[in-house]
Chain A
Amino acid sequence: MELLTHLAIGFATAFSPSNLLYCFLGVLLGTVIGVLPGIGTATTVAMLLPLTFQLEPTSSLIMLAGIYYGSQYGGSTTAIMVNLPGEASSAVTTIDGYQMARRGRAGPALAVAALGSFFAGTVATLLVLTVAQPLTAIALRFGPAEYFSLVTVGLVSSVALASGSILNALAMICLGLLISMTGTDIYTAMPRLTFGLPELEGGIDVAAIAAGAFGIGEIIRNSEAGVIARSTIASVKSIWPSIEDLKRMVGPTVRGTTIGSFLGVLPGSGALLSSFVAYNVEKKVSRNSAEFGKGAIEGVAAPEAANNAGAQTSFIPMLSLGLPSNVVMALMIGAMMMQGITPGPNVATTHPELFWGVIVSMWIGNAMLVLLNFPLIGIWIKLLSTPSWILYPAIVTFCCIGIYSLANNSFIMYILLVSGVGGYILVKLGCELPPFILGFILGPMLEEHFRRAMSLSGGDPMILVTRPISAALLAVAVVALIVVSLPAISRKRKEVFVEED
């Protein structure tokens, strides 16, 4: 019965006219920007983050969530139409989606992607509803030692799923943690790592770092010669899939949803991994496996369902534990903190309307996606042909205005600039940004819980190992680290990520 009361709170919140509007705006903006080639989910969310700070907390999170799955769906559209994945997680969709488009079946491919995503979204939302609460109950019994270990697990698993070198990823986490220490110390109120700049005493803004590293950095990266080679845009004849198509998509969608739901909960980039796994499973299971790579509808339905399910279930650790499982969730945690809400298991009790409202709005948002995309596919395709010389300056300007409006001072612009150029250099050096951002956002949490645990135990680090849950979590982190370092696994990882390019 408790579930029903929660659902009622959720529906009441999510169906309020203003929240419906923000959800719609989020989905719309997310799709519009996600459709643009070369702009991934993280970039989209980072760029639009400042817009949501003016809203009240619940609406802003609802809108951010909308932006997230909107941009993910937008990315799939690009993948199908021009063979350019807007982001890594829709890379698999290009394989069969673009082939379908070339055979004049772009319409059904888009429709199947939308329907598959909607189905996955519905199931995953139900899952979030049922799982989030018990998980929260467990998490409420956590002490600082357990939290420290939990955050460590989150950080380590982001290494496991980064595609490049493990050493680089570890170094990026440390760098992120270190930069997050900038500002005023929480216990002694002493300014540290500020280099004597009073502007840095308040800490460095997540939004500025993210918009710089992802937004500006991505623009510079895209300007490299030959990164965006435009392929011909396929034309859309009919949107509606045939009965045959619908029959063929049922199995893959269900399997994709199951895979995505489980993998999405794992920290790291759940949506990315789940679409790959779903595609490969489908290739093995399907009766039409010969058609894969040549425009099999199963090859679109399964990864699309999986990545959408993964996107939804990645909210579970974020909402119930305050632990982000990917960059977008990390940014949402950043947004919560800016709104004055401490992320963690308490959110469900202190802000029930936010907790349940966001969950229910995810389902509404998915329904909106389907409704929005059928009539508007023509417009998305037009958007795809926006020339880059007008697109890139527009994004740079949007980042500038958005970030400037956060602080109303010019100093934050220098942070934007430094993280933009810095982010580009780091990526160029083979270091990935997601571990960095995760480290940056989890840094203060890690430090706070560590110091609290130390003061509880009187400075004895053994507390981390003697408390059972904490010890188990740390063991998970160590095992994860060992497993990814094994040569066999790293070769396997290489294969998976080579396929992605």
Chain B
Amino acid sequence: MAVGCIYGLTAWWSLPVGDSVNMGPGYFPIVLSMLLVLLGAAIAVRSVVGEYSVAFEGIPWRSIAMNTLAILCFASLIRPLGLFPTVMLTASLSCLGSANVSMTKAAIAGFSIAVLCTLIFSFIIGLPIAIVGPWLGGFI
């Protein structure tokens, strides 16, 4: 049922943006937005008629929340903290997203993944990311 709503929203949200740009570059996006609105409407009609509905349950909120947190944490901490600590934190957070995981397990996962990633990305591939960032003394 929600399919239609989501599409409608997506389409309407993109329409004004398409219009506001001048004719040349905006042409294609506008055509596409209109198509999307049409399709969105068709899907909405179909779901209202009830021919096709989607079960929307069993969403793993815990996983979504923890993984979101993990990625945000990575995004904001990678520069100041450096690779090793950030990965440890990111992996532990993401690990807590799985069901039935204790803090200890998460910490173990975080630590081992951090060791692995540092080995692979810093020593083998040689990515230009500091292993330990400026906030923590920052060598290498």
Contact = CB atoms under 8 A, between A and B. Distances in A.
Given A188-B24, A223-B98, A396-B91, A417 B71 contact: yes
A430 B3 contact: yes
A431 interface: yes
A223 B28 contact: no
Contact of A175 (B17, B36, B101, B109): B36
A190 B99 CA distance: 47
Interface stretch (A36-44, A163-171, A275-283): A163-171
A389 B109 contact: yes
Given A188-B25, A193-B17, A413 B71 contact: yes
Given A165-B52, A167-B42, A428-B56, A223 B71 contact: no
Contacts of A240: none
Given A397-B117, A398-B117, A192 B29 contact: yes
Nearest to B40: A171
B105 A389 contact: yes
B60 interface: yes
Contact of A400 (B24, B71, B105): B71
Measured as residues with beta carbon below 8 angstroms from the partner, the interface class of chain B is 35 or more
Contacts of A390: 95, 108-109, 112-113
A410 interface: yes
A424 interface: yes
Interface stretch (A127-135, A177-185, A342-350): A177-185
Contact of B67 (A168, A195, A220, A451): A220
Contacts of B28: 181, 447, 450-451
B71 A396 contact: yes
Contact of B121 (A185, A405, A447, A451): A405
Contacts of A216: 67, 71
Contacts of B36: 171, 174-175, 178
A430 B47 CA distance: 12
Given A181-B28, A401-B87, A428-B54, A396 B70 contact: yes
A401 B27 CA distance: 37
A429 B54 contact: yes
A421 B42 contact: no
A231 B132 CA distance: 41
Given A389-B109, A401-B127, A428-B54, A420 B67 contact: yes
A393 interface: yes
Contacts of A413: 71-72, 74-75
A187 B112 CA distance: 49
Contact of B43 (A167, A389, A404): A167
B26 to A, nearest CB: 7
A417 B74 CA distance: 11
B119 interface: no
Contacts of B75: 404, 410, 413-414, 417
Interface of A: 51, 54, 165, 167-168, 170-171, 174-175, 177-178, 181, 185, 187-188, 190, 192-193, 195, 216, 219-220, 223-225, 388-390, 392-394, 396-398, 400-401, 404-405, 408, 410, 413-414, 416-417, 420-421, 424-425, 428-431, 447, 450-451
29 contacts: A54-B125, A165-B43, A168-B3, A168-B43, A171-B39, A171-B40, A171-B43, A174-B35, A174-B39, A192-B17, A216-B71, A219-B67, A223-B60, A225-B99, A393-B90, A393-B91, A396-B91, A397-B113, A398-B117, A400-B87, A401-B83, A404-B78, A404-B129, A405-B129, A413-B75, A425-B6, A428-B59, A431-B3, A451-B28
Given A167-B43, A193-B14, A404-B78, 10 more contacts: A167-B46, A178-B29, A220-B63, A389-B101, A396-B94, A404-B129, A405-B127, A413-B74, A420-B71, A429-B6
Interface of B: 2-3, 6-7, 10, 14, 17-18, 21-22, 24-29, 32-33, 35-36, 39-40, 42-43, 46, 52, 54, 56, 58-60, 62-64, 67-68, 70-72, 74-76, 78-79, 83, 87, 90-95, 97-99, 101, 105-106, 108-110, 112-113, 116-117, 121, 125, 127-129
